[in-house]
A and B are shown apart, each in its own frame.
Chain A
Amino acid sequence: MQYGPRKIAVTGHFGSGKTEFAVSLAFALARLGAAEERLALCDLDIENPYFRSREQGAALEEAGIRCYSDPFGGRNGSELQTISAAVRAPLEDEGCRVIVDCGGDNSGAMVLRQFQKYFTLGEYQLLCVVNQNRPGTDTPEKAVAHLRAIEQASGLEVTGLVSNSHLIRYTTAETVTEGWEFAKQVETLSGVPALCACCMESIAPQLKNADFDVFPIGMYMRDTYLDKQV
């Protein structure tokens, strides 16, 4: 159990950065050889038409991560609110470590309810990604309200908070540290432990003496051109 429970589901407020975190986590686990046998990512996002983890399907597969999403394998560019029945395979496969990437908010987390039987308390991590720079979760109270709504919709207990307060290219080490302090306030208010703070790989060295766990994330979902100033 070095890497924690075999099933990790990622939820959070719409736009908090769940997908970037989920994809980075999958690649990190693949690099570490964390999967006992197999590694899978289930993209259950039925909310967004763009920026879904299935867009990285080819790169994930190349890294040895099976990617499950809609019945078309994410290839038809549609926004059909359907999930492939094959999603059950990695959830049932005891030899497969699986990351479940949900859509935003309670409406996105609702998808988990049909898979409730695969999530027994103590045998899964249900992570809630928290970003204080999003207007909907800019106070600990609002962040907890989202967390509770996600629990209600999914029928599952959130087991950990992932701090992901960022401003894309304007993110500094200070943004990350302040974000962590915010996540600790959410922890106090909700009783759900804050586990780590995400930051872009380029900022990670500046946080090597931080008194919290830093999880460096890639920018897999964001092409570099999107941040060019014109």
Chain B
Amino acid sequence: MSKVLMKGNEAFGEAAIRAGCNCYFGYPITPQNEIPEYMSHELPKAGGKFLQAESELAAVSMAYGAAASGGRAFISTSSPGLSLMQEGLGFICSAEVPLVALNVSRGGPGVGGIQPGQADYIQVTRGGYNGDAKIPVFAPAGIQECVDLIYEAFEIADKYRNPVLIFADGMMGQMMEPVELPEKREIVPAEKISELKPWAITGKDNHPGRNVIYSLRMEPNVLEEHVEHLFEKYAEAERELVRYKTQGLEDAEIVFVAFGTMSRLCAEAIELLEEQGIKAGMIRPISLWPFPKKAFDEIGPKTKLVISTELSMGQMIDDIRLAVMNRWPVGLINRTGGIVPSSLEIVERAKKLLEGVK
């Protein structure tokens, strides 16, 4: 199949459509505005429904309702918008309804700024919702990978009957890249939903009994049993959904850990360091939850330092420390506020950190 040149946000919308998404709910927020714009004119052509909600709270709740009735729902937003969606995401986890959410993140806290950021790491991996719930989170490094992950996320969400979150950043939403789009999956016709999703609310006609979707369980033992059931699913997700890539770990003195846009910068920094005679490698977590702890067991004997590189004040670094278990010192190279460092800055700071541990 041939490649087409697409802006990230357009490609993300198209990926959802091709995955068979039949309902999108959104509210404008930069830097993901091209997604609702794209969905508004393309999703109806594909036989789906686009609805601009009055807020992010409304968008996630509409998606909850549409997915509860068997729709293949997709929502997208950017950092402060995701904060507003947290309540809904928790409800959807408890109600066991599949949903795909995309965060094209920007700088924070608060309204922050519109330039790229990764300071939602804790928000997406720990959740801002209440209660014991987990959401699988995937962080693509480029547009093609994001397209492929969105396409697959709908299947994962259906399998686990849980939201799945894609964590891209503003740079990926706004940049252009040639992409190969996946095959279009057909939208499931209404009369087929109860067969594929027997739990869905599709009307009394097809059911001997009645489906009820809810997140309220007043009896403590019933609620505990429900949460334990959710955690059986999460345990399976932890076994099945770990994704990562590594580069040059065997003989690396420095191991960068980076996801998303930062991983591309690290790839360039690794080349520059090599020119200066310093071997560096990289662990690139693709799944942020479950975090790829086992990747750290592949680190070779020459490594003196593991460096978390982040577009935040250092949030993934806690997961890295848990994975490293004191085997290597852990450093941090970061910028925040929407600033993306140059690969040269990463090189200089990495050399300084390396000096410190030698």
Contacts and interface: CB of A to CB of B under 8 A. Distances in A.
B174 A50 contact: yes
B282 interface: yes
Given A49-B31, A77-B113, A225-B264, A230 B178 contact: no
Contacts, number: 77
Nearest to B260: A230
A214 B141 CA distance: 33
Contact of A167 (B3, B30, B31, B263): B3
Interface stretch (B4-12, B43-51, B56-64, B309-317): B4-12
A212 interface: no
A135 interface: yes
B115 A77 contact: yes
Contact of A230 (B7, B114, B177, B267): B267
A225 B267 contact: yes
Q: Specify the main secondary structure of chain A where it touches its partner.
A: loop
A49 B338 contact: no
Interface in B98-143: 113-115, 141-142
A222 B174 CA distance: 12
Interface in A183-225: 222-225
A230 B5 contact: no
Contacts of B31: 49-50
Interface in A45-97: 48-51, 77-79
A48 to B, nearest CB: 7
Contacts of A223: 342
Interface string B258-270: 0000011111100
A48 B176 CA distance: 12
A168 interface: yes
A168 B174 contact: no
A177 interface: no
A228 B268 contact: yes
Contacts of A131: 5
Given A77-B113, A168-B178, A230-B282, A134 B268 contact: no
A166 interface: yes
Contact of A168 (B114, B177, B264, B343): B177
Contacts of B175: 50-51, 222, 226
B268 A133 contact: no
Query: Which of A51, A166, A225 lies at the interface centre, i.e. has the most chain B CB atoms within 10 A of its CB?
Result: A225
Contacts of A114: none
A15 interface: yes
Interface of B: 3-7, 10, 30-31, 113-115, 141-142, 170-171, 174-178, 245, 247, 263-268, 282, 284, 338, 342-343
Contact of B4 (A14, A133, A226, A230): A133
Given A230-B263, A230-B264, A230-B284, A49 B30 contact: yes
9 tightest A-B CB contacts, nearest first: A50-B174, A228-B267, A167-B178, A225-B268, A133-B5, A228-B264, A230-B263, A225-B265, A230-B141
Q: Specify the main secondary structure of chain B where it touches its partner.
A: mixed
Contact of A135 (B6, B338, B343): B6
Interface of A: 14-15, 48-51, 77-79, 131, 133-135, 138, 166-170, 222-226, 228-230
A226 B171 CA distance: 9
B8 to A, nearest CB: 10
B176 to A, nearest CB: 6
11 contacts: A49-B31, A49-B114, A77-B338, A134-B5, A135-B6, A168-B5, A170-B3, A170-B178, A230-B141, A230-B247, A230-B267
A167 B5 contact: yes
Contacts of A78: 114
A230 B282 CA distance: 9
Given A51-B174, A134-B4, A226-B264, A79 B30 contact: yes
B176 A15 contact: yes
Given A167-B5, A230-B141, 17 more contacts: A15-B5, A15-B7, A49-B30, A50-B170, A79-B30, A134-B4, A135-B6, A135-B10, A167-B3, A167-B178, A228-B265, A228-B267, A230-B245, A230-B247, A230-B264, A230-B266, A230-B267
A112 to B, nearest CB: 22
A147 to B, nearest CB: 18
A12 B7 CA distance: 15
A166 B5 contact: yes
A51 B340 CA distance: 13
Contacts of A77: 113-115, 338
A202 B141 CA distance: 26
B149 to A, nearest CB: 14
A225 B174 contact: no
Contacts of B178: 133, 167-170
Contacts of A222: 175
B273 to A, nearest CB: 14
A49 B174 contact: yes
Contacts of A15: 5-7, 10, 176
